[in-house]
Amino acid sequence: MNPLRHVAIIMDGNGRWGLRYKNSRNAGHKAGLNTVEKILKETVKNKIRFLTLYAFSTENWKRPKKEINYLFDLLENFLINRIEELHKQNIKLKIIGFKNFSPKLNKLLSLSEKKTSKNKKLQINLALNYGSKTELIHAFKKIYKNKERVNEKNISNYLQTKDIPDPDLLIRTGNTKRLSNFLLWQLAYSEIFFEKKLWPDFNEKDFNRVIKSYKKIKRNFGNI
Ligand code: IPE
Ligand code: IPE
Ligand code: MG
């Protein structure tokens, strides 16, 4: 049985779900938040230490302003309503990606990170305005500036996932088989599951089915 320390998820399919059932992409984003809650609970139940959720990519700025604003309002309300509870559950929140949102949201994100920084049960890495290529460029620039060696250890150390083990498992919902600039370095040896269901339809049972399959995989890491 493979140990499972870190699950990463590309939560895709909200827009299509919203259009299909409510005639609004934003309704899909709202429904997607319920799935986040479900998966969070299940992650704790499964005693997984790290959960990385892709919530907004550096490329998602291309979307209509109305949708972007709705997404950040959802996030803001989620944090205002839920951070206390997450803190009580010993959950740590870390943002990966560059925090360049409204001053109000930036502050809320920093406060939420600070408040939960010592928590130990589960670490949620929320990828917001995250892009793997930008992250890597940033790392290389730091190595160059500090005149350090270009090697695996140094590159990993300058990524925003420093001190976090690489994901064992990547799940992408929404029936699309691509990485969309997510954790390109960190996913080098992850087991990848592309799920047909749209994110708002994905549930605890699906999550546990994937985990069960993951645990049985023979992970070679180049060996035999
Ligand atoms: C993923 O769902 C969530 C975000 C990118 C914020 P999408 O909004 O990409 O949903 P689809 O892929 O358009 O259905
Ligand atoms: C990836 O989904 C980003 C998030 C889930 C936040 P997208 O829906 O933005 O990916 P592409 O653009 O279809 O590749
Ligand atoms: Mg999408």
Spans of all domains in the chain = 6-131+166-216
pLDDT (tens digit per residue) in 164-183: 999 999 999 999 999 999 99
Share of the chain above pLDDT 70, in %: 100
- What count of Cα atoms within 13 Å lies in the side-chain half-sphere of residue 147? 0
60 touches ligand 2 (CB under 6 Å): yes
**Residue 14: both structure tokens together:** 């909200």
Instruction: Report the mean per-residue pLDDT for the chain.
Output: 98
Read off the pLDDT of residues 96-142 as tens digits, 9 standing for 90 and up: 999 999 999 999 999 999 999 999 999 999 999 999 999 999 999 99
DSSP 58: G
- On whether the CB atoms of residues 100 and 71 are closer than 8 A, the answer is no
Question: From ligand 1's centre to the CA of 149, what distance in Å?
Answer: 38
Q: What pLDDT sits at residue 136?
A: 98
Ligand 2 in contact with 191 (CB < 6 A)?
no
Question: Residue 209's pLDDT band (boundaries 50, 70, 90)?
Answer: very high
Predicted confidence at residue 84, as pLDDT, reads 98
Round to whole Å and give the CA distance between 195 and 197: 6
What whole-number distance in Å separates Cα of residue 220 and Cα of residue 128?
32
d(CA 198, CA 25): 12
CB 193 within 8 A of CB 213: yes
The reply to whether ligand 1 has any atom less than 6 angstroms from the CB of 56 is yes
Q: pTM to 2 decimals? A: 0.98
**CATH number belonging to the domain at 6-131+166-216, selected among 3.40.1180.10, 3.20.190.10, 1.20.200.10, 3.30.230.10:** 3.40.1180.10
Atom from ligand 2 closest to the CA of residue 199: 5
